[in-house]
Chain A
């Protein structure tokens, strides 16, 4: 791909001439200044985040942004209920970046927009709260890290369990050696997903800027039934999209190992044969330095349950054998169950006796608190962009293995590339549409 310098890149992506010089500089926040936020992506998660940040007295939601105007009303109403000023609603997020009064971009778009939205925001001097999974592919995840560092931006990844106090207690417990030496960590993500509906391609609905929605991804004919989550063009997949929370916890609990040196993976579409191109069944084995991590994931296991609402934020524990979102930590002296969603954790000794229990609460508010605090202090947030990158990278490797016939892949962290399969390296990065390209040099 032709390299673009920043000025040329901005021109190409903004469709404007001479715009680069107009990027606003970072606003200097006073201690009592409200943090002004724009929200990009108004689906379910974007609506939730807009409402949660609007509830904070130190935040003003100034923009709500989505290519689909049909999403405006739901989230605008939710924000207006929480703050005095009505937010502006726009289709094109570049209007948010153009506003020098905006401090923060919340990026809750589909996966294929995470990188470019975040990089452009960093270039425009905005801090970013970006939803997981951090990036659509390994290469652009690294570019997001580079952009955050180059422009000195706070970029928090939306993996909120990292901010939950019970997770920190679990990490301290393991670090104290009570489980002995930990050599094996198992991550589970056993879901129940429906089949995609089937419908013919059709006209793009009025009020939906489909070209903008596609952005860096291919512009395929519009189809109302296409679930972007199930397509490689737009997504890391429904497994990565959810399991990355548990995998991030697994990494956190054992001290954040950086890169696996190899992945063995087997994936298939077993049950949900509905036109998707992503596996509904995936088992992966990662070789980290001195440690093996496994992923058990499927989308057709209704008897395995996410932690029920009544258990979350309570002093109860999940029914561990049937918990679909757990992590198991196996040491030479003991064993730990750890649950997402405030499920808490329980540790057992070498005789299988329960020796420690810690109930939990969900980390959403703590995570948002941490981000807002870092916007003011300029510290690195709890789930900095690089953590987001390293936690989703194993899923990219598993998906690449799937795409090259379930081959075992050896990985070099220094170059972030596969060393034993040239074909696999094709999938480290995507093809970008010319007008929406993530540049080599951010």
Chain B
């Protein structure tokens, strides 16, 4: 490693040990004051303790943060996932309170760490929404009505899950590329278009976000790109059922166990209710044309007044979103078939932004009207 690069990594080691994003909720949630120390255990091996501040006061059981950690043992040349089964504490995975967090890393991966000076840790947090377990009204036909592998009945019961409040942003995706992008994996030249995306690849294969584009949703990502980003985070794409339940909510908004808060519109057409996206001259999401205030993409969260019943923003319009489900009329192993995309986009007619409209796309498709968000199911307790 060159001296210049070591210096850059040393600086990054401070700045990125907690990836701070100046409080912009739509990007990583702000984490701060990351401290890493090494302690001996009674068994003789070391354990590493990571502390940081999770400052967003809005974090709650209904709006938790998803926190994941990655580390490097070679001055930032290579970064690895810090597996949650090697972690203890209150500051990783789904975190439901803000404040000072402590994570103890005590597993096999850290035993080779002899010198703490080698180690850099990055803590990143994503704003999530909790969708309680319980039945909901599934009105679309799963997999476009063709996929037998997806048999969610109309009155489907979906276990508790957490879904990102916002679509993955350009800033988040550029951060990912800078960590793992190497020679260009996950990036394509169309992403450089500043009016429809805005990530520029530099000559040294680092990536920068076009000025002012940080909070816009990432576009031109294939299904595989989306999966790559989400695996890097420890998340996955939502199924169609999860996506649709995030739009409509369950029969009870607090879940089937408590049943205290019936959903007033369990069959709603849009996240906010049944009003059309442009009804009464009120623009509730980013659809085709400039009347909603955006000729093309809008920054994520621009229509947060019209979030779904669990607080998930931008499910309607802006970018259509990849889901985990696939679609086929004739499927065969070895043929990589269509995936389902939901939610309408900035190019869609208003009614195409509803809870049931889906489109098919080949998984390699990179489009200026498609992005994604992540989902997490609870990890099993001890």
Residue from A73, A192, A309 within 8 A of B288 (CB atoms):
A73
Assess whether A206 is in contact with B330, with CB atoms less than 8 Å apart: no
Please tell me if the beta carbons of B334 and A197 are within 8 angstroms of each other in the complex.
no
How far, in angstroms, from A331 to B333 measured CA to CA in the complex? 33
Residue interface bits A196-228, CB-to-B below 8 A is 1, else 0: 110100000111000000000000000011010
**A69 interface residue per 8 A CB criterion:** yes
Q: Which residues of B contact A71 (CB under 8 A)?
A: 359
Q: Is the CB of A74 within 8 A of B333?
A: no
- B330-368: CB near A (< 8 Å → 1, else 0) gives 111111101000001101110110001101110000011
Bound form: Cα–Cα A194–B148 in Å: 6
Q: Say yes or no: is A236 at the interface (Cβ < 8 Å to chain B).
A: no
Q: Are A192 and B349 in contact (CB under 8 A)?
A: no
Known: A70-B357, A81-B368. A194 touches B146 (CB 8 A): yes
Question: B141–A73 contact, CB under 8 A?
Answer: no
Question: A321 interface residue, CB < 8 Å from B?
Answer: no
Residue from B330, B360, B361 with most neighbouring chain A CB atoms (10 Å): B330
Chain B residues with CB under 8 Å of A299's CB are 330
B293 is an interface residue with CB less than 8 A from chain A: no
Residues in chain B near residue A224, CB distance under 8 A: 141, 145
CA distance A69 to B347 in the complex (A): 11
Report chain B residues within 8 Å CB of A194: 146-148, 328-329, 331
Q: How many residues of A contact B (CB 8 A)?
A: 36
With an 8 A cutoff between CB atoms, is B369 at the interface?
yes
Most buried by B among A76, A77, A78, A195: A77
**Residues of chain B lying within 8 A (CB to CB) of residue A74:** 359, 361, 367, 369
What is the bound-complex CA distance between A225 and B144, given in angstroms?
A: 9
Per-residue interface assignment for chain A, residues 292 to 315, with 1 indicating a CB less than 8 Å from any chain B CB and 0 otherwise = 000000010010011011100000
Interface centre among A194, A224, A242 (most CB of B within 10 A): A194
| Interface: A191 (CB within 8 A) | yes
Contacts of B349 in A (CB 8 A): 69-70, 72-73, 207
CB of B299 within 8 Å of the partner chain: no
Whole-angstrom CA separation of A305 from B334 in the bound complex: 9
A199 proximity list for chain B (CB < 8 A) = 141, 145, 154
Cβ-defined contact, A309 with B334, below 8 A: yes
Given A196-B145, A207-B349, are A44 and B332 also a contact pair (CB < 8 Å)?
no
User: Is there contact, CB below 8 Å, between B145 and A308?
Assistant: no
* Distance between Cα atoms of A224 and B154 in the complex (Å): 13
Interface of A is mostly: loop
**Chain A residue, CB-CB nearest to B336:** A309
For B219, give the chain A residue with the smallest CB separation: A77
Q: Is A59 an interface residue (CB 8 A)?
A: no
Q: Are A69 and B352 in contact (CB under 8 A)?
A: yes
Report chain B residues within 8 Å CB of A196. Answer: 145
B153 vs chain A, min Cβ distance (A): 10
Partner of B141, one of A197, A302, A306: A197
What's the Cα separation between A225 and B148 when bound, in Å? 13
Contact assessment for A73 and B368 in the assembled complex, using a CB-CB cutoff below 8 Å? no
- The answer to whether B250 has its CB under 8 Å from any CB of chain A is no
- Known contacts A73-B288, A74-B361, A196-B145: does B334 contact A310 (CB below 8 Å)? yes
* B273 nearest CB across to chain A (Å): 15
| Given A70-B348, A72-B348, CB of A308 within 8 Å of CB of B335 | yes
Known pairs A73-B369, A194-B148, A195-B148; A44 contacts B338 (CB<8 A)? yes
Q: Number of residue pairs across A and B with beta carbons under 8 Å? A: 99
Let me know if B142 is at the binding interface, CB within 8 A.
yes
Contact of B146 among A69, A77, A227, A305 (CB under 8 A): A227
B148 surroundings in chain A (CB, below 8 A) = 194-195
A192 & B330 in contact (Cβ 8 Å cutoff): yes
Report the minimal beta-carbon distance from B28 to chain A, rounded to whole angstroms.
28
B368 engages A238 (CB within 8 Å) = no
Q: Which residue of A lies closest to B357 (CB)?
A: A70
Shortest Cβ distance from B370 into A: residue: A77
A442 to chain B, nearest CB (A): 32
Contacts of A191 in B (CB 8 A): 330
Q: Which residues of B contact A227 (CB under 8 A)?
A: 145-146, 329
Chain B contacts of A197 at CB under 8 A?
141-142, 145-146
Query: Given A69-B349, A72-B348, A199-B141, A78 and B333 touching (CB < 8 A)?
Result: no
What is the CA–CA distance of A72 and B359 in the complex, to the nearest angstrom?
A: 10
Report the minimum CB–CB distance from B328 to chain A (whole Å): 7
- Neighbouring B residues of A305 by C-beta, 8 Å: 332-334
* Cα A61 to Cα B142 with chains together (Å): 32
A318 to B377, CA, bound (A): 41
A70 to chain B: closest residue by CB: B352
A229 within 8 A of B: yes
CA distance A206 to B361 in the complex (A): 23
Measured in the bound complex, the distance between the Cα atoms of B327 and A227 in whole Å is 13
Which chain B residues border A350 with CB–CB below 8 Å?
none
B residues with CB within 8 A of A: 141-142, 145-148, 154, 190, 276, 288, 320, 328-336, 338, 344-345, 347-349, 351-352, 356-357, 359-361, 367-369
Write 28 A-B pairs (CB below 8 A) sorted by A numbering.
Answer: A70-B348, A70-B357, A73-B348, A73-B349, A73-B359, A77-B367, A81-B190, A193-B329, A193-B330, A194-B328, A195-B148, A197-B142, A197-B145, A199-B145, A205-B357, A207-B351, A224-B145, A225-B145, A229-B329, A238-B330, A242-B330, A302-B333, A305-B333, A308-B332, A308-B335, A309-B335, A310-B334, A324-B332
Residues of A whose CB lies within 8 Å of any CB of B are 44, 69-74, 76-78, 81, 191-197, 199, 205-207, 224-225, 227, 229, 238, 242, 299, 302, 305-306, 308-310, 324
What 8 new A-B contacts, CB under 8 Å, besides A197-B145, A224-B141? A77-B345, A78-B367, A192-B332, A194-B329, A197-B146, A225-B141, A305-B334, A306-B332
Those 3 A-B pairs whose CB atoms lie nearest each other, nearest first:
A308-B334, A73-B347, A197-B145
